[in-house]
């Protein structure tokens, strides 16, 4: 299996490189530059399925092969064929033996979808503690246990120069640049309408992903964690029913017929899956109030379409507008909040306060609140680099 997954050892091209060149729409992900490539480093790449984690890693491998003295210094393994940490440890030990035979001092090790392996972290911890990887750069990708079990937090003091990188569907700016190099308002509105339909999933844009598959992936992840897919669907349905208004765990629980603890558990699970984002209340005193009602947003438009399909609900375009602004501000600043009193602010992040206006919606706003009309949203999102 090691030989099959590392064709560059034999001066052969990787299948993913060939597929990438055939895609109609392709991009080198910016998140690749966030990864540490200096030893020792243990990187974690997290994000929902089909956002391009594997393809991004393969593109990085192609770049690294131009820098290393031996192709054997780059090792990739897709862990979905393994059962538990013992098999993962066996694979890693086999590669380390090969590395020693080839006289390689620094290796780049990529373990893809490692979260599908039971107790995967035990194998890595064992090798790190024994000093077997001290001269290497290890990059781990995953979607389930990396974020739900949060095992990466148990690697305290063992990550060296490693980074944690979150991979999400394309931002509007990256999406727009698939079509045009410079931003023009008329083109911005045109591309934005398309973005509302496809979301930032490049695979969907290239015709290699269907909306219903996103539902299937989510249900599979829920089953892997022994969660009820029916209950999960009902929770998402309640979230969509209440959007874009602030809500509480109690309100969601009452709508579904479960305890507030259960409602919170599923909402936090969807957040760990990178499906939902909780937007907390920021008071006029500058303090965050986690006990107040929060806004629950879907983080991508294609995900929203998938959840509409699954729950048989509908989401207004005005709601999508607000979600997009909140998500993009969160990506830029790492946090986003809302405020509501005699006036409302949909999104507060950094030094920005933004209210997304839809239709004839009226109200009074403070001078430092930027009120965005629908036609202004593309330019605003594009400006958030």
Instruction: Verify that 105 and 239 share a domain, yes or no.
Output: no
Q: 200 with 157, same domain?
A: no
Angstrom distance (rounded) from CA 199 to CA 192: 10
Whether residue 255 is found in the same domain as residue 186: yes
336-363 exposure pattern, b = at least 16 Cβ within 10 A, e = fewer: bbbbeeeebbbbbbeebbbbbbeeeeee
Quickly state the pLDDT bin for 111 (edges 50, 70, 90). Answer: very high
Question: 117 vs 256, which has greater pLDDT?
Answer: 256
pLDDT reading at 376 higher than 90: yes
User: How much helix, strand and coil, in percent to the nearest 5, is found in the chain?
Assistant: 50, 15, 35
How many residues comprise the chain? Answer: 385
Same domain, 178 and 160: no
Q: Name the helix (H) or strand (E) containing 77.
A: strand 74-78
The domain tally of the chain equals: 2
144 and 261 assigned to the same domain: no
Name the percent of the chain lying above pLDDT 90. 86
Boundaries of domain holding 227: 172-383
Are 308 and 186 found together in one domain?
Answer: yes
Among 166, 198, 227, identify where a domain stops.
166
Specify whether 225 is located in the same domain as 160. Answer: no
Strand blocks (E) in 245-327:
276-282, 288-289, 295-298
Least confident span in 151-160, 318-327, 329-338 = 151-160
Band (157; pLDDT cuts 50, 70, 90): confident
Task: Tell which residue, 349, 320, 303, 332, has the closest CA to residue 200.
Answer: 303
The DSSP symbol for 55 reads H
Candidate from 53-62, 110-119, 318-327 with smallest mean pLDDT: 110-119
Q: Is the pLDDT of residue 161 over 60?
A: yes
Letter string b/e over residues 150-166, b meaning 16 or more CB atoms within 10 A of that residue's CB: ebbeebeeebbebebbb
What is the tens place of the pLDDT at every residue in 255-288? 999 999 999 999 999 999 999 999 999 999 999 9
Same domain, 59 and 145: yes
Enclosing H/E stretch for 46: strand 41-46
274: left (phi over 0), alpha (psi -120 to 50) or beta: left
Query: Using one digit for the tens of pLDDT, what is the confidence trace for 65-75?
Result: 999 999 999 99
Say if residue 209 is in the same domain as residue 134: no
Q: Which of residues 110, 140, 166 is at a domain's end?
A: 166
What's the CATH code of the domain at 228? 1.10.10.10
Are 227 and 237 in contact by the 8 Å Cβ rule? The answer is no
CA gap 27, 56 in Å, rounded: 9
Q: What is the CATH number of the domain that holds 126?
A: 3.40.50.300
Domain end position, chosen among 166, 187, 213: 166
**What is the predicted pLDDT for the residue at 148?**
58
SS3 103: coil
* Residue 343 pLDDT grade (very low, low, confident, very high; cuts 50, 70, 90): confident
Q: How confident is the model at residue 365 (pLDDT cuts 50, 70, 90)?
A: low
Please give the order of strands across the beta sheet that includes 41-46.
Answer: 74-78, 108-112, 137-142, 41-46, 164-166
Residue 191 has pLDDT above 60, yes or no: yes
Q: What separation in angstroms does the CA of 147 have from each of 78, 110, 114, 161, 270?
A: 18, 18, 12, 20, 10
């Amino acid at each position: 299996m090691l030989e099959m997954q590392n064709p560059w050892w034999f001066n052969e091209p990787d299948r993913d490189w060939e597929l990438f060149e055939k895609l109609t729409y392709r991009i080198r992900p910016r998140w690749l530059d966030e990864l540490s490539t200096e030893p020792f480093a243990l990187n974690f790449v997290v994000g929902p399925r089909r956002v391009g984690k594997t393809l991004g890693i393969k593109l990085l491998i192609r770049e690294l092969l131009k820098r290393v003295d031996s192709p054997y210094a780059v090792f990739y393994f897709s862990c979905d064929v393994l059962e538990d940490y013992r098999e993962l440890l066996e694979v890693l030990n086999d590669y380390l033996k090969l590395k020693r035979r080839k006289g390689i001092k620094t290796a780049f090790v990529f373990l893809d979808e490692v979260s599908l392996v039971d107790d995967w972290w035990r194998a890595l911890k064992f090798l790190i503690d024994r000093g077997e990887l001290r001269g290497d750069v290890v990059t781990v990708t995953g979607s389930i246990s990396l974020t739900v079990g949060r095992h990466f937090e148990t690697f305290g003091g063992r990550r060296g120069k490693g980074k944690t990188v979150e991979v999400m569907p394309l931002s509007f700016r990256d999406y727009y640049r698939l079509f045009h190099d410079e931003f023009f308002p008329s083109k911005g509105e045109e591309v934005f309408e398309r973005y509302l339909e496809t979301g930032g999933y490049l695979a969907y844009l290239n015709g290699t992903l269907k909306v219903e598959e996103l539902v299937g992936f989510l249900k599979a992840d829920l089953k892997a964690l022994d969660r009820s897919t029916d209950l999960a669907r009902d929770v998402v349905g309640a979230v969509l029913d209440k959007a874009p208004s602030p809500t509480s765990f109690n309100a969601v629980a009452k709508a579904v017929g479960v305890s507030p603890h259960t409602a919170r558990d599923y909402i936090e699970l969807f957040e760990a899956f990178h499906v939902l984002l909780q937007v907390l209340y920021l008071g006029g005193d500058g303090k965050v109030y986690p006990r107040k009602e929060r806004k629950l947003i879907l983080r991508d438009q294609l995900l929203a379409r998938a959840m509409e399909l699954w729950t048989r609900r509908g989401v207004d375009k005005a709601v999508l507008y607000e979600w997009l602004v909140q998500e993009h501000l969160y990506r830029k600043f790492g946090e986003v909040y809302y405020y509501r009193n005699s006036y409302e602010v949909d999104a507060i992040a950094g030094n920005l306060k933004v209210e997304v206006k839809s239709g004839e919606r009226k109200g009074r706003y403070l001078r430092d609140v930027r009120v965005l009309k629908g036609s202004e949203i593309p330019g605003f999102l594009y400006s958030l680099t």
